[in-house]
Amino acid sequence: MKKGLIIVICLIMLCPFLNCKADVSENIENTFENTESLAVNAQSAILIDAKTGTILYEKNAHEKLAPASMTKIMSMLIIVEAIEKGNLKWDEMLTISENASSMGGSQILLETGEQMSVKDLFKGVAVASGNDAVIALAEAVAGTMEEFVKMMNEKVKKLNLKDTNFKNPHGLDEANHYSSAYDMAFIAKELVKHEKILTFTSIYEDYLRKGTEKEFWLTNTNKLTRFKPGVDGLKTGYTEEAGYCLTATMQKNDYRLIATVMKEPSSTIRNSEISTLLDYGYAQYKSVSILSSKDIISKASVEKGINEYSNVVAKEDVNLILKKSDNLGKITYDIDINKLKAPIKKGQIIGKIVVNIDNKKTTQIDLTVNKDNEKATFFKLYFRYLKNIINGKIYF
């Protein structure tokens, strides 16, 4: 065998062990240059950045379709908000109604009169897509399933979504019950702000009623939580009308993406196409930090505040999603702060900041203060007034 041929063969054999990251990365990025190869079998699809809502890919994203159990993304949002408001507690025991226990479809086999904690019921929804569990929680939040559905549709309006109308909290097919890939992704965007829910949606398998005669094994309907590193939610769906649906979320490279596919022909194709969508997002895009919520933007005068001035900060971090091939342009800010009067609370919206890239508005974020500023006493204000006179800040 010739010496040159031997060297070539050896290099080929060694290639997996060499540092070929640049070549591999380049090949991945080139693979996704043609987006027509994405979500080919899905009736509708979308990929967004979870922080900014930037749309990275869409296909028939506003088409109104049956969402199946992806409906529970909104149900979980309403439930977790009720818990955070103190209207429901994670360790609270709920008594299961006949209405909840009689639900068909996917379920955790609740019985009428049985008691289960809010935490375990929520786990039954997030992991096993239990229709009976979501009804039990809906009744606890709103009194009746019908009132809960009203809350769901009110939330749709509050989020300014146009393609959705809910008729139930579980997603079983029903006339006039519909949503879109766009709306599902943006409801999911709202849900993942409540990071605790990811501790439920990321569970692959667990038990309810552990150690009892009615022990129930949960296994996640979203198989990507086990087989795709970084995926920690969110919700599958299937009915005959809806086909196979999935809204998935993944954390990688310090930012989170959300992908939705609707009306896929099989669960295998659904999982494959949504996985490819997520890979596309991370291969083609990067998250660039523009402003931290810890950065002091300015100081604002607070009328009658115990502190004369408060530090103004963005209510949340400001990030932009850019193509990896793009460079960040010139950044400028337009700041609008309301007239402030004590008391002012941390987190209270006091104005807006508009971020411009190359003189083009890119995003708008609420402003707040980094500390509470309570109302000052009469004597505090009186001595401040005298001090300002002495320092020449007040003239007569």
What amino acid positions are annotated as catalytic residues?
69, 72, 129
Hey, which residues does 243 pair with through a beta bridge?
239
- Sign of the CA dihedral 304, 307, 309, 313? negative
CA distance 315 to 367: 5
Name the nearest CA neighbour of 67 among 166, 159, 155.
Answer: 166
Q: Which two tokens stand for residue 360?
A: 């083009």
Name the nearest CA neighbour of 235 among 227, 320, 225, 86.
Answer: 225
Q: Which two tokens stand for residue 83?
A: 């818990």
CA distance 386 to 392: 10
Determine how β-strand 231-239 pairs with β-strand 243-252.
antiparallel
* 129 three-class SS: coil
Tell me if 355 sits within 8 A of 291, measured CB to CB: yes
